Each structure stands twice: as C-alpha cells, then as structure tokens.
C-alpha cells in the first residue's frame, strides 16, 4: 500500500474509533507526521490526561503508553508495537527499588518517568527530563532523596540543584552512543554551531555542550535562537521535527549511532493495524495504577 493510501486509511479509522494519535519526538518522520500531537514525555502525559478521545494510539515506548493509561484509566490506550520497551526503564525493578528503600528508609523516592508502573507505584514523586530540577527542588531540604534509574540525569540534576542524591546505576544505552569525540569533531567542523544535548548523555558529553535540555526544551530553544546551526546530542528522530519547524536552520546529529531501536519499532503500517485490530491494549492493574497515578499527579502539580 502506498504511504498516501495508508495515511488516508489511518485518518478515517482514527475518526471512526474516536481516537487520538500521540507520538514522541523520537518517532520516525512519517509517524510524527500522521500524529495529532508530537511532544516529549511530559507534554504527552499532559495531553493524554486532558484529551476527550476514547482511544489513545501511543507511538512511543511502553512506559510512556503506560503513563497515559495510568492517567486515563477510562480510556483505551493502544500501541502500534507492544514490544517497544525502554532498556533504561527495565534496569530498575520493584525488588531492587524496595531493597534501596530498606537501606534508606527516610528517603523520598523520585522516579524518572522512564520506569514501569510498578516502580512508579513504589515511588513518592515522578519526574521527566523537563521538570526534574523543579521536582527535586520541591522536596524539603532536610529529606534524603533516592533518584532512579538514570544516574546521568540524576547526577546532572544533583549538580544543578545542589541536592545530594542517592543515585541508581541506570543509564540510556542510546545516549551513551554519543561520545565526547563526536562533539569535539563536530565543534571543530562547525565552530559557529550551538551544541545542545539531552541530560541522559554522559557527563563528558554534557560537559562539552552549550545547553543541556530535554527533547521539548531542545525544540523550544532551536525555535527561539538566533543561531543558524545546531549540533544535537540526542536520539536522531528529533531531527525530523527540528527541520520541519525550522526549515532555514541546519542540524548536525551528534552521532548517527544514537538510534533507539525501540522507538523505531513503530511504523505507519503498525499504526493502521493497531487501529484496525484494537488488540494491543496497554493494561495496568487497578491497584498499581492508582498508586502510580499519585506519583505522576504530584509531578504534574509541581510542574
């Protein structure tokens, strides 16, 4: 089927089902283009929370769709590919978090949104890359903080807020594909370019950047900036949106190797099949969902 036919079918079925298509900034271009809304983890959860649609087609990875399902238990959340997971989210399990809590019983647990519903349910407050500093800053100064699972985001936020935190040994394998050498080479080739990297990057890469921002922050900064050239240190899918919104600006991905294979599992075909079959439903058990929702809602209040 041609991509025009596919798009037409998706649009018809999307209306028929009373659905909304949400896509993360890392999705392949054609999936971003068919979506009703494209954004970062925070904007996607906010949109999922307030939409009137009966069905949410979530084009991203599992923890993001799960967050949408937790916030909207009365809606059907479906994924084009249920196997699109996040290796970083899988690094922290419920057992491991419970052990960490036993070691630090007085600590407040901040979980990155890149976690399973079970881990969120066991945490006090959630955060995304866009609001992590605000969330950590909202915790009383006399309380210890456990931050899971990303040690690099956690380390960056700790430095930014001046709050010492107990970090877990999690990381994003995709962002670690960007190395200092890449940034140094690109900076030498394009000395007038602004370097913006995601806080999941290694401290070496972050140390070479002009700005450290989550995906929505990157999109905002690029739009507002007077600079014409940008070296972008995050998953390469974001370049599609950046080019589309800023046709006169030039983008250099920090590394072509920074590709999240899970984000790339979704395709137009799979979006159509998900809408046709309505089978790839994201299910969160009620009790876990209710507790996880408290951690997410606390985050939304703060941000």
- When the beta carbons of 107 and 178 are compared against ligand 13P, the nearer one is 178
Over the window 164 to 183, marking each residue x when it contacts ligand SF4 by CB under 6 A and - when it does not, the resulting string is --------x-x---------
CA distance 120 to 113: 8
Burial class (CB in 10 A: 0-12, 13-18, 19+), 94: middle
Contact 157, 151 (CB under 8 A): no
Give the one entry of ligand 13P, ligand SF4, none that residue 87 binds, where binding means its C-beta sits below a cut-off of 5 to 8 angstroms depending on kind.
Answer: ligand SF4
- When the beta carbons of 139 and 214 are compared against ligand SF4, the nearer one is 214
With binding defined as CB under 6 A, does residue 172 bind ligand 13P? yes
With binding defined as CB under 6 A, does residue 200 bind ligand 13P? yes
- Residue 29: partners with Cβ closer than 8 Å, 6 or more residues away: 237, 240
* 168: Cα separation from own chain's centroid: 18
With binding defined as CB under 6 A, does residue 137 bind ligand SF4? no
- When the beta carbons of 14 and 27 are compared against ligand 13P, the nearer one is 27
CA distance 303 to 162: 19
Single out the segment in contact with ligand SF4 by CB under 6 A; choices: 122-130, 159-167, 185-193, 260-268: 260-268
DSSP letter for each residue of 122-180 = TSSEEE-TTTHHHHHHTS-TTS-EEEESBHHHHHHHHHHHT---EE-SB--TTGGGS-H
Tokens 């945490």: give the residue.
Answer: 123
With binding defined as CB under 6 A, does residue 215 bind ligand 13P? yes
CA distance 107 to 224: 39
Give the one entry of ligand 13P, ligand SF4, none that residue 25 binds, where binding means its C-beta sits below a cut-off of 5 to 8 angstroms depending on kind.
Answer: ligand 13P
Over the window 26 to 65, marking each residue x when it contacts ligand SF4 by CB under 6 A and - when it does not, the resulting string is -----------------------------------x----
Residues that bind ligand SF4 (CB under 6 A): 61, 86-88, 114, 172, 174, 200, 235, 260, 262-263
């Amino acid at each position: 089927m041609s991509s025009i036919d596919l798009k037409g079918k998706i649009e018809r079925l999307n209306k028929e089902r009373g659905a909304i298509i949400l896509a993360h900034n890392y999705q392949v271009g054609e999936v971003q283009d068919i979506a009703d809304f494209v954004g970062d983890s925070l904007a996607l959860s906010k949109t999922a929370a307030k939409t009137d649609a009966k069905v949410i087609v979530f084009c991203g990875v599992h923890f993001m769709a799960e967050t949408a399902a937790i916030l909207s238990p009365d809606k059907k959340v479906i994924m084009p590919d249920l196997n699109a997971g996040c290796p970083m989210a899988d690094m922290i399990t419920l057992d491991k978090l419970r052990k960490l809590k036993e070691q630090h019983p007085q600590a407040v647990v901040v979980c990155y949104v890149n976690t399973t519903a079970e881990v969120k349910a066991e945490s006090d407050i959630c955060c995304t890359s866009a609001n992590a500093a605000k969330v950590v800053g909202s915790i009383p100064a006399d309380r210890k903080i456990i931050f899971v699972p990303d040690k690099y985001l956690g380390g960056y936020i700790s430095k930014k807020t001046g709050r010492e935190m107990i970090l877990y040994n999690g990381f994003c394998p995709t962002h670690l594909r960007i190395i200092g050498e890449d940034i140094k080479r690109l900076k030498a080739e394009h000395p007038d370019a602004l370097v913006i990297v995601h806080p999941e990057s290694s401290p070496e890469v972050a140390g070479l950047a002009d700005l450290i921002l989550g995906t929505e922050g990157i999109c905002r900064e690029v739009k507002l900036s007077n600079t014409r050239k940008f070296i972008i240190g995050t998953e390469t899918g974001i370049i599609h949106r950046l080019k589309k919104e800023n046709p006169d600006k030039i983008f250099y991905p920090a590394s072509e190797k920074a590709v999240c294979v899970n984000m790339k599992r979704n395709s137009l075909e799979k979006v159509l099949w998900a809408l046709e079959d309505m089978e790839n439903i994201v299910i969160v058990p009620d009790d876990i969902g209710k507790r996880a929702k408290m951690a997410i809602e606390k985050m939304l209040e703060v941000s």
